[in-house]
Each structure stands twice: as structure tokens, then as C-alpha cells.
Structure 1
Amino acid sequence: MSPEQESASLQLQQRINSLQENLNASNASWDLLVTENDPLFLASLMWSWFLHLKVSAMTEKSAIVSGC
């Protein structure tokens, strides 16, 4: 990974962490999420939430069935 890619990845992770903290602290932050239009940010945020689930939201079988 190039230094530019590492920097972009770090910035993305910082944005995700910041929004997650704000969402946990205030309902007003959900309004910010609604206006977000960066697909990489939204996908990364969703992936971060999936990784923190105690129970898997998707099994290997359901991924195959749904074509993911």
C-alpha cells in the first residue's frame, strides 16, 4: 500500500470512528448519516458494524443463496 493509500485509509477510519462515537452520543448525528453520499464511507461504516456484531448477521449459506 502506498503512503497516499495508507493516509486515505487512516482518514476513512477516523471518519468512521468519529461518526460512530457521535451516533452513540446524539440522535442528531443520524441526520448527518442520511446526507452522506460517499459509497466507500458508507460501505466501510456498515462493514465496521458487521465486524462488531456479537452474532453474525449473515452466514456463509445465506451469502451463497443471496449471491453475495
Structure 2
Amino acid sequence: MCHRLRYSSPDELIAEVLSFLQVKPLMLLKCMSKSWNTLISEPTFVKLHLNRSARNTDLAFVSSLRSLLSTC
């Protein structure tokens, strides 16, 4: 059975996709546009990403959130 996910805005879909990326590509994407920087810096996105990262068994460690978000 096919389940379709519904998003109320394109930003929600983008956030969902970006939340699966590792931190380094996310920090590079923050520098691509103001809207992506804002999206990636939002507390709701950070929480979503951290929750997904915590479930990733390949994750060696999680650095300080503040230092990760201040690369741009």
C-alpha cells in the first residue's frame, strides 16, 4: 500500500529532506541562500535533525549546537 506524505508548504518538504543530511553538507547549504540558512537555523529543524542524528548508529559524536550553526 502506498502512503503519500502531505506537507502544508514547500519549506516543510525541504526541511524533511535536509534533515537526513549530515552536518557538514547542511553547513554548506546554509551559505547557499538566506532562506535555507533561516530554515536550517530554526529550532524546530535543529531538533528534527538532532533526533534523526541520534538514531543514526554511524554517528560518532554530536558537537555543540552553537558551534555547528556558527560556521557561516
Is TM > 0.5 for Structure 1 vs Structure 2? no
Q: Compute the TM-score of the two structures, normalised by the length of structure 2.
A: 0.38
- Indicate the structure (1 or 2) with the bigger Cα radius of gyration: 1
Q: Compute the TM-score of the two structures, normalised by the length of structure 1.
A: 0.40
**Higher RCO (CA-CA < 8 Å; seq separation 6+):** 2
